[in-house]
Amino acid sequence: MISAVLWTILLAAFCAPAAAQPAQAYVFLLEGKGVPTGTIHVFGLNPQTGVLSEAPDSPFSAGLGPVQMAIDPTDRFLYVTNQSSQDITGFSIDAGTGTLTLLPGSPFSIGAVPVTMAVDPTGRFLYVFAETVVNGVSQQALFEYTIDSV
């Protein structure tokens, strides 16, 4: 009986599920600064105390005239729409540090002024609603981008 109790204690101690450990959480702040270039501040959030600490190399350049951020459901990618340069800046998010790294080919040109964007719940697509003026006529368009999960 004693060996069974000891075995149970050892299993509980060494085989605790990884989900029991609190995951690192991050807070992202888009700062327009009133100048053409914007920045993204990344803060690590301590799950026990709620204390914020700025991530390494933060702040990061967001683009020209940044107006909105969106994060995919897996928390692996962050996207920023930029009105002045009419493009999307894409970043990968380092899960351990919160550091942002530009995605290959970023920024991605839209050719129109982005108004709003959203990532679909599956994390497979990024949708951007944008406007442009052609021959004095305002035109709206919905752009769909496929998110490469790698």
**Helix, strand or coil, per DSSP, at residue 9:** helix
pLDDT of residue 31: 85
- Please check whether residue 84 is in contact with residue 66, taking contact to mean a CB–CB distance below 8 angstroms: no
| Consecutive H or E run containing 25 | strand 25-31
pLDDT bucket at 8, cuts 50 / 70 / 90: very low
pLDDT bucket at 15, cuts 50 / 70 / 90: very low
Per the document, the length of the chain is: 150
pLDDT of residue 63: 87
Task: Domains for the chain: give ranges and CATH numbers.
Answer: 22-146 (2.130.10.10)
65 dihedral zone (left: phi>0; alpha: psi -120 to 50; beta): left
pLDDT of residue 50: 85
Q: What is the pLDDT of residues 65-97, one digit of tens each?
A: 898 999 999 899 999 999 989 999 999 999 889
Query: pTM, whole model, 2 decimals?
Result: 0.79
Q: What is the pLDDT of residues 18-73, one digit of tens each?
A: 444 446 789 999 887 666 788 899 999 888 888 899 998 889 988 888 989 999 99
